[in-house]
Structure 1
Amino acid sequence: GQVGGIRSLWVDKHAPRSRKDLMGNGQQINQLDAWMRCFGDEEKQSAERKTSKADGKKPDIHSFKSVLLSGPPGVGKSSAAKIIAEQHGYSVVQLNASDVRNKAGLREHITPLTTNQSLSAWCGAAASQPTGGVGAGAGKTCLIMDEVDGMSGGDRGGTTELIEMIKHTKAPIICIANDAYCPKLKSLCNNTFPLKFGKPIKTMVAKRIKEIAQSEGFNIPNPVVLEKLVEEGGNDIRHIINILQMWRMDSDVLSYADLDRKMKDGHKEKSVLQTSLFDVADYFLDRKHAKASLGEKLDMFFYDADAMPLHIHENYLKNRPDILPSETGKYAEFNCMRRFADAADAIAEGDVVGNCIRGKQQWALMPLQGVVSTVQSASFVRGSPGSWANSTGADAWRRPTMGFTFLGKMSTANKKKRLVGDIERSMRDISSANRTEVACDYIPLLRARLTAPLIAEGQNGIGEVVALMEEYGLDKESHDAITKELLLSKGSEDPMGQVDAKVKAALTRAWNAGSHKIKFVRGKAGADALASKGTGGFNIGRSGEMEKEGDEGGDEEEDEEEGEKGAASAVGKGGAGKGKGKASGGGSGGKGSGATKGKAA
């Protein structure tokens, strides 16, 4: 189609214009329609509750100021939100949350809009308007925040700012995400009503695709071709329309033979049509794809450029490589090990390229990383990926995995490193040991001294444990980390497992009942608590150092790190006094700085 002399995209030209153009998800659309119709009107909401026969056990959509539309791409979430809002007379303001990411970005994009008459009722000016909600006036605005699952990651304050907007808004806010179960959206889900969209059925999509193709002069006479195309496209109508527009440039007729040929040859097989990461994972290690061209393999690499090297790294030793006839015989085992070594070298070279890409922003090297870390490394060990799938006993480690256990182990290691760092900073006024010395010398001995009195004396040993924790500046979280989470090996026995449950509960009550000196504070909440007690215009930052109020970096998102819980305990009378000058753990960090005077290390 032509728009102003310029060829337009079919997905825009044939986008839904009214509610009748929306496919599937009828129940979700009806709920959204009722919510928009009754928003801000308590009488209508009450009548709607009676009509819907709400039993009070399930969440009521009318008690929320925002809804979260979630589902796979191409199912009509954005179109449904915009059409329903306009149907009820709202002026739609749609923001792409992947661009408006952090707190400052949200405020920058939203603040200028407050000068518009239609937004005056939305951002606080509604308080000066007559009673009746946003709907009572000429300016009715609906804010659509698209791709809210792209607001998190490395951004700070974006999700928190959006939640604050939802709490104080007087206009409907519709959030849209592909994955409602994204961990970063957990706090947002608590403030929105979920509406989960699913893919429409195959026959419905095929009918719509045929209408669009006929209007564009693209003849698909065989209905089996339509169903096959929809099936391979994963019922994603937007994706299928884009493919059809590309194929229309070559021909005006699509037969079954044409579809089969285009899928296999000219259009990169399944890399063009939708597939899952699990289908792509073994592409490089399987001998069936040995004759694929380098271009096709790079296409598979760019399906997920971060996941593919991880999958190769975790599974190349678990693959049964094909050995050439010349490599069999006496030195067959040696030749097999040589192949594994060559693959390891290629993976290491790929890591070097990856560090250069991300460290120096040399993104033009991405194809080279794909060739080295994925294509070349897999070529050395290509064979049968599933040959060890049923391995047991000593060979159980050879079972193929998805390739992401490395990420889990790295996350666990980073968490333990953070916990050790917190303990080291808490002990600064009594010990000069660094993080390594604390982990190797102090923590094992502290673990024994924190658990032995409870095992031997029960509740009578609680006083000794609390006194030791106060001496070393430890809080309850540090106590739990030392006694359980920071065990040196996976098979180590949990010493707190020998302590009676009643004694554990009594220890927690005894610690919470008293006030303790705070020497190190985690998170923004703890710093604010100390600031309210009067620290002379200073806050204690995340690293435990004193920072002036207003310094950069103090506006961090509250949910940036999952393990942080604010202040360690109740605020005591003041900062730490003089250092004790002694420590009960031997080794290189055995003696602290006796002359140390500290406020908060």
Structure 2
Amino acid sequence: MMSVCFKEGIKISPDALTEVINGAGMDIRQILTHLSVWSAGEKVLSAETVSKEANNAKKDTPLGPWEVCRKVFSAEEHKTMSITDRGRLFYHDYSLAPLFVQDNYLKVMPHCPKNEHLKRFALAADAISMGDMIDTKIRRTNNWSLLDVEAMCASVLPGHYLEGHVNAQIDFPSWLGKNSKKNKFSRLLSELQAHMRTSISGSRSAVKLDYVTHLRNNIVRPLAKEGVAGVNQALEVMHAYNLLREDLDSILELALWPRQKDPMNMVDSKVKAAFTRAYNKDGAKLPYAIQAAPVKKTWHGCE
């Protein structure tokens, strides 16, 4: 860039040019535009003038959620940021930013006496909870004018209370994965409840709490203990509750708690195969229609 300035007859110090480059976010097009505009009147650019103009024309560069989370809690960054600048961090991604703050605020080391740490974490937790309540209100009532309030509660206040540094790796919000798993389990429970509707009167919660574990035990135990001889007993339970073969997989997944062994692993693979063959061969009549996979349309027998 110094050679460009020399050829254009612009006199500027290397330090001032470095400020221009940093202010433009290394964007060469914006650097050339700034130099062209500033040198239109005079070819000699003082360091003071360039510094002032570069700061005013600083490029807004998008930050990733990890960098945003780090800046929210960074005491070093806060030295040059106003409260408005801290609030703008929230708007880089107002859906993800609160989740990053909530998932990582306990990894922050506040720059304050140790006897104040617990109090500051409690204040930050209260602010994050309030921000979550506001977010729920926004999305339920479509009242987006509350975003500034959410930014204050979900980002600015936690960063203020825990101003310091993040002393561990910033993790991606685990809530997203857990929410996806919750939705999947909810769908599986709805399917089970629909299939078992003629045999039970319980809700989805009742299916999960009162039926799933007992169904699993009464289907899997005969297979694990008696082997092939227990296939008929397991099938009787399946037919009594109008379950599909795929429903057994859902039951096994729903009944499995963290750090708990899957009882189906105790069943021999030959017994599993015999159970599947017996179920398919039996062809029990079900009181509901099974959604089959879509069939490709053909034209005169050709796909």
Correspondence 1:551-562 to 2 at 5 A: none
Describe the shift of the 1:289–1:458 C-alpha distance in structure 2 as closer, same or farther (beyond 3 A).
Answer: same
Partner of 1:427: 196
1:318 to 90, 107, 112: 107
Describe the shift of the 1:385–1:442 C-alpha distance in structure 2 as closer, same or farther (beyond 3 A).
Answer: same
- Are 1:251 and 2:20 an aligned pair? no
Q: Distance in 1 between matches of 2:144 and 2:117?
A: 34
Partner of 1:480: 249
Q: Distance in 1 between matches of 2:217 and 2:102?
A: 39
Give the share of equivalent positions with the same residue, in percent.
28
Q: Distance in 2 between matches of 1:505 and 1:492?
A: 24
Instruction: Give the drift of 1:347.
Output: 1.0
Contact 1:281-1:311 at 8 Å conserved across structures: yes
Question: Please, what TM-score do these two structures have when normalized by structure 1?
Answer: 0.42
- Are 1:289 and 2:58 an aligned pair? no
Partner of 1:380: 161
Describe the shift of the 1:410–1:261 C-alpha distance in structure 2 as closer, same or farther (beyond 3 A).
Answer: farther
Secondary structure of 1:284 counterpart: helix
- Are 1:504 and 2:272 an aligned pair? yes
Describe the shift of the 1:514–1:275 C-alpha distance in structure 2 as closer, same or farther (beyond 3 A).
Answer: same
The structure that is helix-richer by fraction is 2
Question: Please, what TM-score do these two structures have when normalized by structure 2?
Answer: 0.78
Instruction: Give the drift of 1:247.
Output: 4.3
User: Which ranges in structure 1 are unaligned for 5 or more consecutive residues?
Assistant: 1-205, 234-238, 390-399, 530-601
Letter paired with 1:308: A
Contact 2:256-2:262 at 8 Å conserved across structures: no
Contact 1:307-1:403 at 8 Å conserved across structures: no
Correspondence 1:452-531 to 2 at 5 A: 452-483=221-252, 485-520=253-288, 525-526=291-292
Contact 2:111-2:164 at 8 Å conserved across structures: yes
2:93 to 304, 318, 325: 304
Describe the shift of the 1:245–1:517 C-alpha distance in structure 2 as closer, same or farther (beyond 3 A).
Answer: farther
Secondary structure of 1:410 counterpart: helix
Describe the shift of the 1:282–1:521 C-alpha distance in structure 2 as closer, same or farther (beyond 3 A).
Answer: farther
1:448 to 217, 228, 237: 217
Instruction: Give the drift of 1:503.
Output: 1.9
Instruction: Give the drift of 1:405.
Output: 0.9
Q: Distance in 2 between matches of 1:218 and 1:468?
A: 90
* Worse-superposed segment, 274-283 or 467-476: 274-283
Q: Distance in 2 between matches of 1:441 and 1:259?
A: 72
Instruction: Give the drift of 1:344.
Output: 1.3
Q: Distance in 2 between matches of 1:227 and 1:410?
A: 45
Describe the shift of the 1:319–1:230 C-alpha distance in structure 2 as closer, same or farther (beyond 3 A).
Answer: closer
Contact 1:319-1:384 at 8 Å conserved across structures: yes
Describe the shift of the 1:340–1:249 C-alpha distance in structure 2 as closer, same or farther (beyond 3 A).
Answer: farther
Structure 1 residues 376-430: Cα deviation after superposition (integer angstroms, max 9, x where no partner): 12211121201xx3xxxxxxxxxx4324111111111221122122111211101
Q: Distance in 2 between matches of 1:231 and 1:510?
A: 70
CA RMSD of aligned residues (A): 3.7
Q: Distance in 1 between matches of 2:201 and 2:251?
A: 19
Letter paired with 2:246: E
Partner of 1:353: 134
Q: Distance in 1 between matches of 2:50 and 2:61?
A: 11
Instruction: Give the drift of 1:528.
Output: 7.6
1:436 to 205, 208, 216: 205
Q: Distance in 2 between matches of 1:464 and 1:516?
A: 15
Instruction: Give the drift of 1:513.
Output: 3.9
Correspondence 1:167-178 to 2 at 5 A: none
User: Which ranges in structure 2 are unaligned for 5 or more consecutive residues?
Assistant: 296-303
1:280 to 39, 55, 68: 68
Describe the shift of the 1:340–1:274 C-alpha distance in structure 2 as closer, same or farther (beyond 3 A).
Answer: closer
Count matched residues: 284
Structure 1 residues 340-379: Cα deviation after superposition (integer angstroms, max 9, x where no partner): 1111111122122212322222222222211111011221
Describe the shift of the 1:383–1:514 C-alpha distance in structure 2 as closer, same or farther (beyond 3 A).
Answer: same
Structure 1 residues 140-199: Cα deviation after superposition (integer angstroms, max 9, x where no partner): xxxxxxxxxxxxxxxxxxxxxxxxxxxxxxxxxxxxxxxxxxxxxxxxxxxxxxxxxxxx
Partner of 1:344: 125
Correspondence 1:74-473 to 2 at 5 A: 232-233=25-26, 241=29, 243=30, 247=34, 251-252=38-39, 265-266=55-56, 272-291=60-79, 292-323=81-112, 328=113, 332-333=114-115, 335-386=116-167, 389=168, 400-473=169-242
Instruction: Give the drift of 1:225.
Output: 5.8
Letter paired with 2:261: E
Partner of 1:86: none
Instruction: Give the drift of 1:274.
Output: 4.5
Letter paired with 2:56: G
